[in-house]
Copies of this chain bind each other. A is one copy, B any other.
Amino acid sequence: MIKEKNDIEEILNKTKSFLVVSHDMPDGDAIGSVLAVGKALENLNKDVILFIGDEIPDKYHFMYGSDKIITDGEISYIPPVLFVLDCGDLSRVKLKKEFFSKKTIVNIDHHLSNSYFGDINIIDINACATGEIIFKLFKELNIEIDLDIATAIYTAILTDTGSFRFSNSTPDSHLIAAELIKSGVKPEKISREIYEKRSIEGLKILSKALECLKVSKCGNYAWTFITKEMLAETGAVESDLEGIINYVREIKGVEIGILFKQVSDSVVKVGFRSNEWVDVRQLAVKFSGGGHKRASGCLIRGKLGDVINLVLKEVEKYF
Could you tell me the distance between the alpha carbons of A198 and B219 in the complex, rounded to whole angstroms? 13
What's the interface size class on A, roughly? Answer: 35 or more
Instruction: Name A's interface SS.
Output: helix
Across the interface, which residues of B come within 8 angstroms of A181, CB to CB?
169-171, 174
Q: What's the nearest-Cβ distance from chain B to residue A78, in Å?
A: 37
Q: Give the number of times this chain occurs in the complex, counting copies.
A: 2
Q: What's the nearest-Cβ distance from chain B to residue A121, in Å?
A: 28
Known: A174-B175, A213-B200. A195 touches B165 (CB 8 A): yes
Q: Are B187 and A164 in contact (CB under 8 A)?
A: yes
Could you tell me the distance between the alpha carbons of A187 and B15 in the complex, rounded to whole angstroms? 42
Check A238 for interface membership: any CB of B closer than 8 A.
no
State which of B186, B195, B196 has its C-beta within 8 Å of the C-beta of A167: B186
Q: Report A138-182 residues with CB < 8 Å from chain B CB.
A: 158, 162-167, 169-175, 177-179, 181-182
Q: What's the nearest-Cβ distance from chain B to residue A256, in Å?
A: 14
Could you tell me the distance between the alpha carbons of A198 and B222 in the complex, rounded to whole angstroms? 12
Across the interface, which residues of B come within 8 angstroms of A208, CB to CB?
207, 211
Check A206 for interface membership: any CB of B closer than 8 A.
yes
State which of B166, B182, B252, B275 has its C-beta within 8 Å of the C-beta of A171: B182
Across the interface, which residues of B come within 8 angstroms of A171, CB to CB?
178-179, 181-182
Could you tell me the distance between the alpha carbons of A145 and B198 in the complex, rounded to whole angstroms? 40
State which of B162, B163, B182, B206 has its C-beta within 8 Å of the C-beta of A210: B206
Across the interface, which residues of B come within 8 angstroms of A203, CB to CB?
210, 213, 247, 251
Q: What's the nearest-Cβ distance from chain B to residue A205, in Å?
A: 9
Check A45 for interface membership: any CB of B closer than 8 A.
no
Across the interface, which residues of B come within 8 angstroms of A162, CB to CB?
191
State which of B175, B195, B204 has its C-beta within 8 Å of the C-beta of A178: B175
Q: Report A219-263 residues with CB < 8 Å from chain B CB.
A: 247, 249-252
Q: Are B174 and A252 in contact (CB under 8 A)?
A: no
Check A215 for interface membership: any CB of B closer than 8 A.
yes
Check A192 for interface membership: any CB of B closer than 8 A.
yes
In the complex formed, the residue of B with least CB distance to A254 is B198
User: Interface of A with B (CB < 8 Å)?
Assistant: 158, 162-167, 169-175, 177-179, 181-182, 186-188, 191-192, 195-200, 203-204, 206-208, 210-211, 213, 215, 247, 249-252, 275
